[in-house]
Structure 1
């Protein structure tokens, strides 16, 4: 299977730049720039999470006898299967499940407090998404 993780790496780079910009423009009562960068960080988080899910689904097809069975999995089951096949460690699966739960909440809660809570997850998430990109690239290279 020939596939690469360039788009996932790009979303991680975008997230990193948004987080760096937030550090340069701390929250204040009139900081539109803080809101702009916070929103960019959250959107990058959402995009990278969806991209990671799609790539994990493709990677799992290398391990499963029936690729259609992988297509039928919901996102959380994709994460669990990635753990079962050693693509993610059990600790990573738990963190990714938490990221997914947070993402599901961001889609329904637009409050600034919740958005700021999400920001607290993003530095660890950034490291996890970069680690996942490296692991996925190895899976794709090995199956090519």
Structure 2
């Protein structure tokens, strides 16, 4: 089964674009613009995060000998398996941080939490890019 990674690639591109705009001189000079662009980054982070772990799961379901076990496992076991298969750049502890940031961004609006999610988005961008590269490379070789 050939997986379509273009939705993940598009989400990553949007997150990257939002980050570039959010750190632009215009945004840094205008607090209102920065706030709006920060919100864009947070929304792109949320979407990219969701697509990342779901694409990882789809890939593992397509390539593991017992895909049904993935449905019974925890999120932590999914991330650990992704690490064992050298698909992820970061370990469970960092993915746990990303997961908490995703939860914080979607269940409560708080300026401090928004800034924390905004601050972690560049690191997650690198993680998502690495995942996409690993998935693409592995799929091309099968």
Q: TM-score range by the shorter chain?
A: 0.7 to 0.9
RMSD: 2.0
- Does 1:36 pair with 2:36? yes
State which drifts further: 50-59 or 73-82: 73-82
Structure 1 contact 11–48 (Cα < 8 Å) conserved = yes
- Does 1:21 pair with 2:21? yes
> Where in structure 2 are there 5+ consecutive unaligned residues?
none
What is the aligned length?
140
Match of 1:116 in 2: 115
Cα distance, 1:142–1:113 mapped onto 2, change above 3 Å: same
Cα distance, 1:41–1:27 mapped onto 2, change above 3 Å: farther
* TM superposition shift of 1:7: 1.2
Structure 2 contact 12–129 (Cα < 8 Å) conserved = yes
> Where in structure 1 are there 5+ consecutive unaligned residues?
none
State which drifts further: 61-70 or 50-59: 61-70
For 2:69 and 2:43, the matched residues in 1 are separated by: 30
Greater relative contact order (CA < 8 Å, ≥ 6 in sequence): 1
Using the size of structure 1 for normalisation, the TM-score is 0.84
* Per-residue Cα deviation, 1:28-48 (whole angstroms, up to 9, x for no partner): 55x1x2222111111111111
